[in-house]
């Protein structure tokens, strides 16, 4: 048997396992493996919930994204910085609609509460500066 050395049973075992895997293993999409691993670790729902931060502008639209920025998620609560008290009030009134937009199509990793925090800086000016770079 190729790959075998006398007195080395570990090599024989390794070789047989390699042959077995080659015959029985079918390629699997990486996404499915990652999802299974996250579920096994018990963090799949948290990772799903965290996508809200990365997808914020697509979920709420450019107008709202220009004056707000998600900053963290704690359990099922999303904390969002807003550039002014007026916008904080406006987004508070829009909360039910925003919740529907954020949770659309989600069975797990749903946001159950949004807390708006007034920022001490103008978010729209920061966005303009990033666009010019």
Structure confidence by residue, pLDDT tens digits, 31-66: 677 777 767 777 778 878 888 999 999 999 999 999
Domain spanning 45-132: CATH 3.30.300.180: yes
Token code pair at residue 98:
């925003």
Q: Cα-flanking dihedrals φ and ψ of residue 53, to 5°?
A: -65, -45
Regarding predicted confidence, which is higher, 23 or 8? 23
Sequence-ordered alpha helix ranges (H) in 1-121: 9-24, 30-41, 44-54, 56-60, 62-67, 85-93, 95-103
What residue spans define the domains of the chain? 1-42, 45-132
Q: What is the pLDDT of residues 60-116, one digit of tens each?
A: 999 999 999 999 999 999 999 999 999 999 999 999 999 999 999 988 889 999 999
Question: How far is the C-alpha of 60 from the C-alpha of 106, rounded, in Å?
Answer: 15
Nearest CA-CA partner of 82 in 121, 127, 125, 54:
121
């Amino acid at each position: 048997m190729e790959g075998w050395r006398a007195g080395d049973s570990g090599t024989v075992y390794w070789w047989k396992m390699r042959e077995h895997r080659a015959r029985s293993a079918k390629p699997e999409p990486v996404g499915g493996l990652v999802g299974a691993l996250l579920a096994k670790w018990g963090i799949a729902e948290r990772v799903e919930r965290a996508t809200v931060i990365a997808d914020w502008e697509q979920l709420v639209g450019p107008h709202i994204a220009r004056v707000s920025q998600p900053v963290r998620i704690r359990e099922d609560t999303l904390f969002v910085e807003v550039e002014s008290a007026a916008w904080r009030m406006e987004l508070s009134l829009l909360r039910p609609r925003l919740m529907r937009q954020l949770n659309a199509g989600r069975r797990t990793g749903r946001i159950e509460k949004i807390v708006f925090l007034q920022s001490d800086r103008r978010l729209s000016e920061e966005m303009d500066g990033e666009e010019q770079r």
